[in-house]
Structure 1
Amino acid sequence: KRPRPHLDDKVIVSWNGLAISAFARASQILKSEPTGTRFCFPITGCNPEEYLGVAEKAARFIKEKLYDSSSNRLNHSYRNGPAKAPGFLDDYAFLINGLLDLYEYGGKIEWLMWAAHLQVIQDELFLDKQGGGYFNTPGEDPSVLLRVKEDYDGAEPSGNSVAAINLIRLSSIFDAAKSDGYKCNVEHLLAVFQTRLRELGIALPLMCCAADMLSVPSRKQVVLVGNKESTEFRDMVAAAFSTYDPNRTVIQIDPRNTEEMGFWESNNAIIAQMARSSPPEKPAVAHVCQDFKCSPPVTSADALRVLLNKTVAAATSSAAA
Structure 2
Amino acid sequence: MTLLSFGELLKKIEYSFQLILTTVFIFDNYQLLKMKTNKPNHLIHEKSPYLQQHAYNPVDWYPWGKEAFEKAKAESKVIFLSIGYSTCHWCHVMETESFEDEEVAKILNEYYVAIKVDREERPDIDNVYMTVCQAMTGSGGWPLTLFLTSEGKPFYAGTYFPKTERLGNPGLIALLTQIANLWNTNKESIIASSLQVTKLIDTETASKGEEKPDVRTLKTAYEQLSDRFDSLYGGFGTSPKFPTPHNFTFLLRWWKRSNNAFALEMVEKSLELMARGGIHDHLGGGFHRYSTDEYWLTPHFEKMLYDQALLAISYIETYQATKKDLYSAIAKDIFDYVLRDMTSPEGGFYSAEDADSEGIEGKFYVWKPEEIKEALGEKDGNIFCDFYDVSDIGNFEDKNILHADKPLHIAAKLENMSPDALEKRLANSRKKLLSIREKRIKPHKDTKIITSWNGLMISALSRGAQAMDEPKYTNVAMCAADFILNTLLQENKILLRRYCQGESAIAGFLDDYAFFVNGLIDLYEATFQEKYLQAALQINEEMIKNFLDENEGGFFLSGKSNEKLFTQTKDIYDGATPSGNSIALLNLLRLGRITGNPSYEALADNLIKTFSGTILQYPSGYTQFMCALDFALGPTKEIIVAGEREGNDTKDILREIRSRFLPNKVLLLHPSNGIFIEEIAPYTKELIPIEGRSTVYMCENYSCKKPVSDKNAVIQLLE
User: Structure 1-normalised TM-score?
Assistant: 0.83
Contact 1:20 1:99 in 2 (8 A): yes
Q: What secondary structure does 2:629 align onto?
A: helix
Shift of 1:61: 0.6
1:272 aligned to 663, 682, 685, which one?
685
1:18 aligns with 2:456: yes
Shift of 1:301: 2.8
Contact 2:645 2:671 in 1 (8 A): yes
Match of 2:27 in 1: 3
Shift of 1:292: 6.5
Between the aligned partners of 1:290 and 1:91, the Cα distance in structure 2 is 31
Shift of 1:141: 4.2
Contact 1:242 1:305 in 2 (8 A): no
**1:190-209, aligned counterparts within 5 Å?**
190-209=608-627
Q: What secondary structure does 2:446 align onto?
A: coil
- RMSD across aligned C-alpha pairs, in angstroms? 1.7
- Cα deviation 1:105-139 (Å, max 9, x = unaligned): 22111111110111100001101111111001112
Contact 1:65 1:82 in 2 (8 A): no
Q: What secondary structure does 2:627 align onto?
A: helix
1:150 aligns with 2:561: no
Between the aligned partners of 2:691 and 2:531, the Cα distance in structure 1 is 24
**1:111-122, aligned counterparts within 5 Å?**
111-122=532-543
Match of 2:494 in 1: 73
1:274 alignment partner AA: L
Match of 1:43 in 2: none
Range with greater deviation from structure 2 (5-14 or 132-141): 5-14
Range with greater deviation from structure 2 (154-163 or 193-202): 193-202
**1:184-263, aligned counterparts within 5 Å?**
184-216=602-634, 218-255=635-672, 257=673, 260-261=674-675, 263=676
Between the aligned partners of 2:458 and 2:601, the Cα distance in structure 1 is 25
- Cα deviation 1:150-175 (Å, max 9, x = unaligned): 12111211100000110111111112
How has the CA–CA distance of structure 1 residues 9 and 106 changed in structure 2, closer, same or farther, with 3 Å as cutoff?
same
Between the aligned partners of 1:79 and 1:236, the Cα distance in structure 2 is 42
Match of 2:474 in 1: 52
Identity fraction in percent: 31
Shift of 1:194: 1.0
Q: What secondary structure does 1:151 align onto?
A: coil
Larger of the two Rg values belongs to structure: 2
1:167 alignment partner AA: L
1:63 aligns with 2:485: yes
Between the aligned partners of 1:182 and 1:24, the Cα distance in structure 2 is 24
1:244 alignment partner AA: F
Contact 2:458 2:480 in 1 (8 A): yes
Match of 2:588 in 1: 167
2:698 alignment partner AA: V
1:101 aligned to 522, 535, 544, which one?
522
2:584 alignment partner AA: A
Q: What secondary structure does 2:661 align onto?
A: coil
Between the aligned partners of 1:149 and 1:115, the Cα distance in structure 2 is 22
- Cα deviation 1:160-196 (Å, max 9, x = unaligned): 0000110111111112xx2x21111111111121122
Q: What secondary structure does 1:266 align onto?
A: helix
2:477 alignment partner AA: A
How has the CA–CA distance of structure 1 residues 143 and 289 changed in structure 2, closer, same or farther, with 3 Å as cutoff?
closer
Contact 1:285 1:299 in 2 (8 A): yes
Shift of 1:291: 6.0
Contact 1:232 1:300 in 2 (8 A): no
Q: What secondary structure does 2:504 align onto?
A: coil
Between the aligned partners of 1:213 and 1:206, the Cα distance in structure 2 is 11
Shift of 1:266: 2.5
Contact 2:509 2:562 in 1 (8 A): no
1:281 aligned to 689, 692, 697, which one?
692
Match of 1:303 in 2: 713
| Structure of greater relative contact order (alpha carbons < 8 Å, 6+ residues apart) | 1
Equivalences, count: 281
Shift of 1:222: 1.0
Structure 2 unaligned regions, length at least 5: 1-22, 29-442
Q: What secondary structure does 1:67 align onto?
A: coil
Match of 1:123 in 2: 544
- Cα deviation 1:175-224 (Å, max 9, x = unaligned): 2xx2x2111111111112112211111211110121222122x5211110
How has the CA–CA distance of structure 1 residues 224 and 292 changed in structure 2, closer, same or farther, with 3 Å as cutoff?
farther
How has the CA–CA distance of structure 1 residues 29 and 142 changed in structure 2, closer, same or farther, with 3 Å as cutoff?
closer
Between the aligned partners of 2:679 and 2:701, the Cα distance in structure 1 is 18
Between the aligned partners of 1:174 and 1:58, the Cα distance in structure 2 is 25
Structure 1 unaligned regions, length at least 5: 32-47, 310-321
Q: What secondary structure does 2:524 align onto?
A: helix
Q: What secondary structure does 2:618 align onto?
A: helix
Between the aligned partners of 1:140 and 1:17, the Cα distance in structure 2 is 20
